[in-house]
Structure 1
């Protein structure tokens, strides 16, 4: 079954999508310019042939390890976790032994102490991911794991380390050069939220045995037409990524400033968290953008769906489904009469019915909705989804008149945190911090 977008409930007739569709030639020209200049490796993937060879070599090395501990945050971890949950669910199931992927993506002393105490250092490889090599939440954990490995492994500690960072500069690149640690590059112009189909996400995928070729094949099916030297506005106008971008930009013009990502493929629910960073960090700029809201079907029908259905009419929805999910066990024939409607039916039919009911209810309650209907729930389809949403995000940003590839506001909080830790320099931030901490506070017990 083919992968489809169902636009029936998108409310396109209520939106001024035509204003953005008229800009297809302009957007095609910008894509031609950016790809030819090497500024969109998310689309062109010029690094892939070399990376696949490196991953093939690493897979042999990984056979000596039971555990991979991934140190990363934000885009350095969200894609890996989405792939893990989607295609390596056995780690969350009873009686699973190894291999195991552990992701340290927060400043969490409880979790870090558990890794140090319970992981076998002789069977663990630590992968540290930071493009800049200076992300303190990640590099700080690297310092601690480095000491742990040196203590338990002696001179062999470097064989249990893998770095993913800038090809030429930064602290982690210096560590690789100084100690001879194997390091793979994060290509220039590839921001973390767009990096899942690079070494950032594909190293843990290779460790788990996920079909990397299928992931990349799916992505290339989406981005291939957009990287042609002769890309025209006419071709772009028919591309699903541009159609989603025009829809998203037109929605914001009408006050739809929240975008729900409702996943009715349970194992793919973590793609909602990946999408939330992608959408928020790319488009939340200059007072513009729509707030992404990850939601899990069926779980969130019993929680936040009340707000979606009956709250402020400012929400649109990307609704993820797959009609070919496993059938599962059958409901028994001997059931109370009040449940006779599920007698002898497959358990898997229930999520399909729930998805249909929720999708119809959202549409009837004024939520513009595009259904992303995947023909299968395999790696190729995941690659297509990653490429489709990433490309649509870039095009949406350009249509909005903002840069979807930077994240300037995020840096302020990072500088203030460094000032709190008394990092060198940052005198202005330290003064602001002192003013904030010494101001009169309105504090009340509860």
Structure 2
């Protein structure tokens, strides 16, 4: 399960204020639970089964199985919402070098224009059996477009045109130029869901295919998301029991109290790429019209020794949301032996690093909550089910939060502005 712990809201926001705001804005929750008609073209993610039904999962798993037979390396070509969720899930589940099973791995391209980094990608593919998946809803974004050409030409040079064609998958909009290329050259084509913006695609084949290739139990992940949807969209339930709604209200009250940054903090480095997914989700959804908390993240305990001082005693413009895992997994226990020399850490004799890490977390949260609102999102454990819940929880919370703020959660006009200037510079 997922829970919102409000016991450490601390300064500037209180649970009583959240409850009062819930009553005052209950119409927003009801509208979002139902799905607003004005956003109908962007709400394909709201009902999980629209794009992750059992039938779709059958097709995803069948394609992933064929790709696993052909290759040991899956190059995911995409930027932002086209790669962040898959990367977040694999990192959280403990992938090493992009692999969960030690045999099939995912590497990432299409997210940089750096020649140095792209050379490293090509070097990383040498000696591997490779398939590539170009994810591009409109096939106009520069990073994935240029990387697709680079890696496609690399595949042709290695396998020949026909051999390369059998190793290329593209995910795009039916009828797009990318779709035409696939038909012309014999590439596999999968559908980028038209009514889902990139940053909301975590539970679609955009990400479920690379996850399945790497060995993620995508059915368990989708099942977790379905369970979270049933909880958060239950219009018969008391809004006071809806954690996504209360979290969205905390964010709005923090904004009203003059706070301007939300720091997503965690004591498990496995959430490193999840935090990047969160930053895009909230940054692109709310950062408009001079509004929106700036989404940032902190990986503790390391960054307690770099950002901790500022968080504790800086300008106090932050709210800090913690992710907390309640139960250790099979690899989350490591016990320190007794003292063999006088290192002055004898108080740690026989201690488990799980408990040491928890002690650091609880102390840091208590200290920060003296000056900052510190809501905590608790999940029982880190597995596919709970990651599915977490993805849906944040997407629905973001929808609610943007509606409370009065901005469109589904457009990104600022991104389009920089793209036009960049294309003009390149002579397009």
Q: Is the 8 A contact 2:77 2:132 kept in 1?
A: yes
Q: Tell me, what secondary structure is at the counterpart of 1:169?
A: coil
Distance 1:291 1:333, change over 3 A: same
Contact 1:319/1:371, CA 8 A, preserved across alignment: yes
Matches within 5 A, 1:253-402: 253-325=256-328, 326-336=332-342, 338-364=344-370, 366-402=371-407
Aligned CA-pair RMSD: 2.2
Cα deviation code 1:365-410 (max 9, x no counterpart): x110111122111111111111111111110000111101111111
- Map 1:182-221; keep pairs closer than 5 Å: 182-221=188-227
For the pair 1:151 / 2:153, whether they are aligned, the reply is no
Cα shift readout 1:170-205 (whole Å, capped 9, x = no counterpart): 221221222231121121221111111111211111
Q: Higher mean Cα deviation, 406-415 or 108-117?
A: 108-117
TM-score (norm 1): 0.87
1:170 and 1:72 mapped to 2: Cα distance?
A: 16
How far residue 269 of structure 1 moved from its aligned partner, in angstroms, is: 2.2
For residues 406 and 42 of structure 2, what CA distance do their matches in structure 1 show? 18
CA distance in 2, matches of 1:382, 1:215: 6
Q: Aligned to 2:297, what secondary structure does the other structure show?
A: strand
> CA separation in 1, counterparts of 2:373 and 2:72?
46
Q: 2:5 matched to which residue of 1?
A: 6
Residue 358 of structure 1 deviates from its aligned partner by: 0.8
Alpha-carbon displacement from aligned partner over 1:153-177 (angstroms, at most 9, x marks no partner):
12121111111111x2322122122
* Distance in 2, Cα, partners of 1:373 & 1:29: 26
Larger radius of gyration: 1
Find the aligned partners of 2:151 and 2:120 in 1 and give their Cα distance: 12
CA distance in 2 between partners of 1:40 and 1:197 (Å): 13
Q: Residue in 2 aligned with 1:47?
A: 51
Quick one: distance in 2 between partners of 1:413 and 1:173? 26
Aligned to 1:165: 172
8 Å CA contact retained: 1:215, 1:382: yes
Offset, 1:292: 1.0
SS at match of 1:269: helix
Pair 390,26 (structure 1): closer, same or farther in 2 beyond 3 Å:
closer
Structure-2 separation of matches of 1:92 and 1:190? 26
**Greater RCO (CA < 8 Å, at least 6 residues apart):** 2
Structure 2 spans left out of the alignment, 5+ residues = none
Matching of residues 129-140 of structure 1 within 5 Å: 129-140=135-146
Structure 1 residue 15 displacement after superposition: 8.0
- Give the Cα–Cα distance (whole angstroms) in 2 for the partners of residues 261 and 238 of structure 1: 22
CA distance in 2, matches of 1:178, 1:34: 39
Q: Which ranges in structure 1 are unaligned for 5 or more consecutive residues?
A: 424-446
Work out the CA distance in 2 between the residues paired with 1:58 and 1:250: 46
Contact persistence 2:43–2:196 (CA under 8 A): yes
TM (norm. structure 2) is 0.91
- Aligned in 2, Cα 1:150/1:324: closer, same or farther, shift over 3 Å? same
TM-superposed CA distance for 1:305, in Å, is 1.3
Q: Cα distance 1:225–1:5, how it changes in 2: closer, same or farther (>3 A)?
A: closer
Tell whether the 8 Å contact from 1:121 to 1:149 is kept in structure 2 after alignment: no
Mark the CA change 1:357 to 1:195 in structure 2 (over 3 Å): closer, same or farther. same
